[in-house]
Amino acid sequence: MTNEPIPEMGGFDEASLDKAFAALEQQARADAAAIKGDEDVEAYRLQWLGRKQGRLNDVSSRWLKAAPAEAKKSLGQRFNALKTTVEQLLEQAAGSGPSDAALAAEAIDITLPGTRRLLGAEHPITRTMNEIVSVFAALGYSVGVGPEVETDFYNFESMNFPPGHPARDTQDTLVIANQDRRPLRDRLLLRTHTSPVQMRTMEKQPPPVRIVIPGKVHRNDAQDATHSPIFHQVEGLCVDTNITFSDLKGTLDHAMKALFGSSVKTRFFPSFFPFTEPSADVQISCIFCGGKGCRKCKQSGWIELLGCGMVDPAVFAFAAEKQPAYDPKKISGFAFGMGVERIAMMKYGISEIGSLFAGDMRFLNQFA
Ligand code: PHE
């Protein structure tokens, strides 16, 4: 870097000015050519353009001030030209980027593996629920949902559980506190099944209806290997003219074969639900022993899997209050409801329902 002080000016004629400025420009170019890194760029800027000690500042204070009036214009022009040159040199040097050494220090090894992000995966309950839903979607069913905090009316009364009816006791209900001043039908509870969404659907939509409703339900049950106070159901509802029990049997037989394999058989046992008449429990041939009898099916060869039945006319009567087309003389339908955990546990060989809710990655990773 040029260090020698700016010399005194011998004379201010054109030839002397040319010579003096040419010498300065040569120095400025040589200094710029020697720049190697960011630090050199800054040193160069200070050396040449620094406000107090920069060389151009010196030129201005020594030469410009000493110049006779008639030489000032010519000197000023040369000064400005030199300044522009220095600024351009500086810009080029700064733009030429970091030095090789600086680059080497910052270099990364692109052959190293990147940061791995854990990919999320469907929970086995969600996956099973989606599987069940898609079996029915393929049959033309639409998908609906409803609220988890439900009124007594939708959860019980409109599903044909009259107030005080003993059938209510079969679904140990968790109720929301401090609602004694409300009429019973408006009191809130955690829905004990997805069936209330049958009524919500019919109130919104006249027949025909084909819908499946996946969702979470709550019961005041003690937890054991196969029970949990929170679990999931998929509800189904089909209403149209001339829907018969054969349609119900055919639909569910197909669904069980789609879920568990085409060799699975189904059978229907009389049962009771307030909102269906007749009602049935559906059993499938044991998927573990093929029906021969084993520990899982308690040697019976059959496993009970879901509830179903023909929609009770009393339920249609509640729907008809909002949608008169639900006239049980003109239409009929079937409904069914299945527990998702139970199906997931069978499909994946899970023996404790609690492992589905524990959030243990060692368990869940097996399904990722
Ligand atoms: N809601 C019933 C239950 O939770 C299941 C069911 C649904 C039965 C639809 C028949 C028809 O036990």
Do 100 and 202 lie in one domain? The reply is: no
| pLDDT of 47 | 87
pLDDT at 223 over 70: yes
> Contact at 8 Å (CB) between 273 and 283?
no
Only one residue has tokens 């069936």, namely 195
Proportion of the chain above pLDDT 70, given as a percent: 99
Across the range 225-251, mean pLDDT stands at: 97
Q: Is the pLDDT of residue 55 over 70?
A: yes
Q: Is 95's pLDDT higher than 90?
A: no
Q: 223 and 343: one domain?
A: yes
Q: What residue's CA is closest to ligand 1, atom 9?
A: 336
Give, for ligand 1, the residue of 273, 336, 338 to mutate: max count of ligand atoms closer than 8 Å to Cβ: 273
* pLDDT > 70? residue 99: no
Instruction: Give yes or no for residue 339 CB within 6 A of ligand 1.
Output: no
Domain identity same for 53 and 144 = no
Q: Which residues 6+ apart lie within 8 Å of 277 measured at CB?
A: 309, 310, 312, 313
Query: Binding site: what residues are annotated?
Result: 277
**Tokens standing for 153?**
């009316």
pLDDT at 42: 85
Do 236 and 287 lie in one domain? The reply is yes
**Are 178 and 220 contained in the same domain?**
yes
Are 211 and 238 in a shared domain?
yes
Q: How close is the Cα of 307 to the center of ligand 1, in Å? A: 5
The annotated binding site for Mg(2+) is made up of: 277
273 lines ligand 1 (CB under 6 A): yes
Q: What are φ and ψ of residue 336, in 5° steps?
A: -150, 160
Considering the domain architecture, whether residues 130 and 253 belong to the same structural domain is answered as yes
Mean local confidence (pLDDT), 326-331: 97
Domain ranges, residue 263 = 124-367
Q: Which atom of ligand 1 is nearest to the CA of 217?
A: 4
Give the domain CATH number at 170.
Answer: 3.30.930.10
Q: Is the CB of 231 under 6 A from ligand 1?
A: no
Do the domain assignments include residue 337? yes
Q: Is residue 111 part of a domain?
A: no
DSSP letters, 63-102, are IIHHS-HHHHHHHHHHHHHHHHHHHHHHHHHHHT-S-HHH
Domain ends where: 71, 105, 139? 105
Average pLDDT over the chain, rounded to an integer: 92
Average pLDDT of the residues in 191-219: 98
User: Which of 154, 193, 197 has the most ligand 1 atoms within 8 A of CB, as the residue to mutate?
Assistant: 193
Domain membership of residue 65 (yes or no) is yes
